[in-house]
Amino acid sequence: MALTELNFEFTPKEPKELNDEWGHVGIVSSGDLEILIEKGNAYKGKASFHILTTVVGFDNVWETVLGRLVDKTGLSGVKVSINDNAATPAVVKRRLQQAIENGGGLQ
């Protein structure tokens, strides 16, 4: 019954670094999520995701949605922490883009 914890790591083909030290967006209301992106030397060339979600059994969906977005944007050199309260994939995608923007975008 406790929260589900998911961890993924992606390595984009064309890695791009976040401009700022960190970015943050979102409020964990029902159907929404918050995303915190933090730069870190330990994550060189990759994006490491740590997710706490109320929903069970959508590991593959998360992996697909996040993996595609990392590939498309080149997001790397970061740890991404997510608190999710049953957001749809569309919302996850939009928030991740906003979080990158809030962190100054990618270079």
Partner 1 sequence: MRMDWEELQEKSFYRSSARERAYGIVDPGTFREFLGPRDKMYSPHLVILGEAVEFDDGIVVGVGKIDKHPVFVISQEGNFVGGALGEINGAKMAYMYKIALKCYEAMKEKYGTVPEDRKPLVVVSYDSGGVRLHESNAGLVAHSECMEALWKLQNKVPNISITGSSLGAYGAQGFVCMSGDVVLANDYGRIGLTGPDVIQQEVGKDEFDASDRALIWRTMGARSKYILGDVDYLLKDTIKEFREKVKELADMSMSDISKHRHLGSPELVEDNLELVKIAAELKIDDSKDLWEYYGNENLDELPEMPQEEFLKVAKRRPRRGM
CA-wise closest residue to 55 among 99, 4, 97, 100: 4
Kindly state the smallest distance separating residue 29's Cβ from partner 1, in Å. Answer: 4
Question: With contacts defined by CB under 8 A, how many residues of the chain interact with partner 1?
Answer: 25
Q: Cα(86)–Cα(67) distance, rounded to whole angstroms?
A: 19
CA-wise closest residue to 92 among 56, 57, 68, 75: 68
Of the chain, the end-to-end C-alpha distance in Å amounts to 41
Kindly state the smallest distance separating residue 98's Cβ from partner 1, in Å. Answer: 11
- Binding flag, residue 34, partner 1 (CB under 8 A): yes
- Binding flag, residue 24, partner 1 (CB under 8 A): yes
Question: What residues are paired with 86 via a beta bridge?
Answer: none
Kindly state the smallest distance separating residue 105's Cβ from partner 1, in Å. Answer: 10
> 3-class SS at 49?
strand
Kindly write out the interface string for residues 46-85 of this chain, putting x where it contacts partner 1 by CB under 8 A and - elsewhere: ------xxx--------------------------x-xxx
By CB under 8 A, name the binding residues for partner 1: 1-3, 20, 22-24, 27-29, 32, 34, 36, 38, 52-54, 81, 83-86, 102-104
